Every structure is written in structure tokens, then in C-alpha cells.
């Protein structure tokens, strides 16, 4: 695990990456409380076809941050934000995959392997730069915070926008595997030849076969495959552009870990962030060992058998 490194300047693009159910949503939403940040919202992602060109998220920050505001002048914005929260039209940070697939790179959301620098074409570079710069200008922001799960894709993003910084969120693979099994979007029961992540590497596929094609083991191997891809992306990243954050460490010290992330992004701490931690992002330390309730002892043992090495490398006791 890399040590925290402080970035000397604020990047134009900051990526919060990690496997699904790893805590990336919490980290993204906390960072997006900073007034210098912009983001793609769930509302933007769903209305781009209705509003040609779209508003590029103008007003996202005011609506999103109004929930913690006290002044009466912000109450109307807060109420508007709550109305837009209904259903899936959320004025909160979103992965924005519909927008990215349409405006940047077709299939960006469903790639069967990681996207690296060699995948970047001049067309994709120009589209990505325009996507980021348009939203920064519309939102009056210094840095666009982009939430990504699954493959990191940071090699391609950093090649297009040098200086892009990545906050890589890691959560205990046992907890992630247990959570994936409960998610409707997890398509692992179709098998690794038909799921979203593409085929398992040969060595991991052999481990799955030896397990009797156990779906719990497959979820664990999916976490391992994506984590190893992130580690390769970190090795290829420019010095000072990658920061690893364990989700469990954030639970133990929310203020301290968030300050480290902001310093890495070149952003100062603000009182509004402390209010956000208190009012909007309650820490649930009890979820740390929830996988022991959600999986049978045999299943926990099977997961630990295939994840022993990466769990140990990231400081998770087996």
C-alpha cells in the first residue's frame, strides 16, 4: 500500500476508483462537498438525451451542498435538492456512465479489461478534455471529481489529462464479495465468461474450477482481479498522482483520512466538510465484520483460501 503523498497543485480531474461496494461512493460524496469541486450528477446522467448538450451540471454544487446549509436563503435550494433526490434523478455525484459512453468513448462503462494509455486515440483525448473542461467552466470548479468502479481506467484518463490524480479506495475483499452477492447488478451467476468484467485470467479461472464453481469464490476472485489491475495502474501512474485509501481506515478516522485526501488533491480543509461528516455521512463501524454474518463459515473459509495473499498484503488479518 502506497504512503500518502501530497500533491503540490490542484489537478483538473480527480478520479475516485475502486471495486463496486468498496466505499468509493462515500469518498466521492465527501470530496464533492468541497466548494472547489465539480461533478457529474445522477440527474445529468439521465437527462442528457432530454436536454440536447445538457447544462454540464450547472448548479450541481449549490443543490448538493445546500442540504447542510443553515441560512434561510439556502432552504429553497435544499428543498429542490430533496425533490430531485426522488427516484434516480439525484443531484449527487454519479459515475455518469451514460454521459461518458455517449460523449467520450462508446463502451467506456462496459470494457472487458482495464483501459490503459495505449487505448487512447486522438478522438477520445479531445472528447475527454472537452468533457472535463466544459463541466469545470459550467460549475465554476477547480477540479472535476469523477467516480469510477470496476476497472480503474486511470491509465487512459491520465494519458489524456496529465496530472490527473487517483484516489484508490480498497475494502476488505471478504466484505466486498459478500456484498456483491446481494446486489442485483452483480452478474457473476452467469459465469465469468458472460459477466461484465470479461474472462478471468487462467490462474484465477483454475481456482474457480477447483472450488466447484462456487459463486462466493467467484466474487472473491473478481475483487482480486480488479485489485491487481489497480495495482498495475498505480505502477504505471506518474509519481505523486496516486493515493491508496483503505475504507476501514476512513471508518476509524474520517477527519484525518479525508484531510489526507484533500491535501493530495491540493484542496484545503473547510468547515463545511466537518459539517458534512457530521450530518450526511454517518460512519458505520459495525459493518467492518458484517461478512461474517452474511456468509456461512464454510464460505468465509473458501474466500480466505483464494484471497490470503492480497488480504495480507493490504493489512487484513486472516
Q: What are phi and psi of 170, to 5 degrees?
A: -120, 135
Q: Per residue in 271-283, pLDDT tens?
A: 889 888 887 666 5
How far, CA to CA in Å, does 183 sit from each of 172, 176, 180, 219? 17, 11, 5, 11
State the Cα–Cα distance between residues 132 and 51, nearest whole angstrom: 18
Residue with cell 468547515: 271
Whole-number pLDDT of residue 90: 61
State the Cα–Cα distance between residues 82 and 39, nearest whole angstrom: 18
Whole-prediction pTM: 0.90
Q: Per residue in 158-196, pLDDT tens?
A: 999 999 999 999 999 999 999 999 999 999 999 999 999
Q: In this structure, are residues 180 and 149 in contact, taking their beta carbons and an 8 Å threshold?
A: no
> Tell me: domain 13-178+238-284, CATH 3.40.50.300, correct?
yes
Q: Per residue in 250-260, pLDDT tens?
A: 999 999 999 99
Amino acid at each position: 500500500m502506497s504512503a500518502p503523498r501530497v500533491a503540490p497543485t490542484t489537478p483538473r480531474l480527480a478520479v475516485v476508483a475502486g471495486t463496486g461496494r468498496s466505499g468509493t461512493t462515500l469518498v466521492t460524496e465527501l470530496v464533492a462537498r468541497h466548494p472547489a469541486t465539480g461533478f457529474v450528477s445522477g440527474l445529468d446522467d439521465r437527462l442528457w438525451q432530454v436536454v440536447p448538450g445538457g447544462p454540464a451540471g450547472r448548479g450541481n454544487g449549490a443543490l448538493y451542498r445546500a442540504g447542510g446549509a443553515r441560512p434561510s436563503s439556502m432552504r429553497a435550494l435544499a428543498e429542490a435538492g430533496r425533490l430531485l433526490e426522488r427516484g434516480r434523478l439525484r443531484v449527487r455525484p454519479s459515475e455518469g456512465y451514460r454521459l461518458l459512453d455517449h460523449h467520450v468513448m462508446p463502451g467506456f462503462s462496459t470494457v472487458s479489461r482495464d483501459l490503459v494509455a495505449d487505448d487512447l486515440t486522438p478522438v477520445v483525448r479531445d472528447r475527454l478534455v472537452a468533457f472535463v473542461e466544459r463541466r469545470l467552466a459550467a460549475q465554476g470548479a477547480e477540479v472535476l471529481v469523477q467516480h469510477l468502479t470496476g476497472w480503474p481506467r486511470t491509465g487512459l484518463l491520465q494519458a489524456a489529462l496529465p496530472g490527473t490524480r487517483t484516489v484508490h479506495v480498497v475494502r476488505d475483499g471478504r466484505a466486498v464479495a459478500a456484498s456483491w452477492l446481494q446486489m442485483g447488478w452483480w452478474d457473476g451467476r452467469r459465469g465469468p465468461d458472460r459477466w461484465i468484467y470479461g474472462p478471468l485470467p487462467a490462474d484465477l479461472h483454475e481456482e474457480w474450477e477447483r472450488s466447484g464453481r462456487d459463486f462466493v469464490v467467484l466474487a472473491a476472485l473478481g475483487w482480486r482481479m480488479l485489485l491487481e489491475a489497480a495495482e498495475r495502474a498505480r505502477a504505471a501512474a506518474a509519481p505523486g498522482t496516486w493515493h491508496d485509501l483503505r475504507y476501514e481506515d476512513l471508518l476509524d478516522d474520517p477527519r484525518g483520512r479525508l484531510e489526507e485526501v484533500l491535501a493530495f488533491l491540493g484542496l484545503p480543509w473547510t468547515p463545511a466538510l466537518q459539517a458534512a461528516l457530521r450530518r450526511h455521512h454517518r460512519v458505520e463501524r459495525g459493518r467492518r465484520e458484517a461478512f461474517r454474518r452474511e456468509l456461512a463459515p464454510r464460505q468465509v473459509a473458501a474466500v480466505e483460501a483464494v484471497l490470503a495473499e492480497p488480504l495480507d498484503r493490504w493489512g487484513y488479518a486472516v
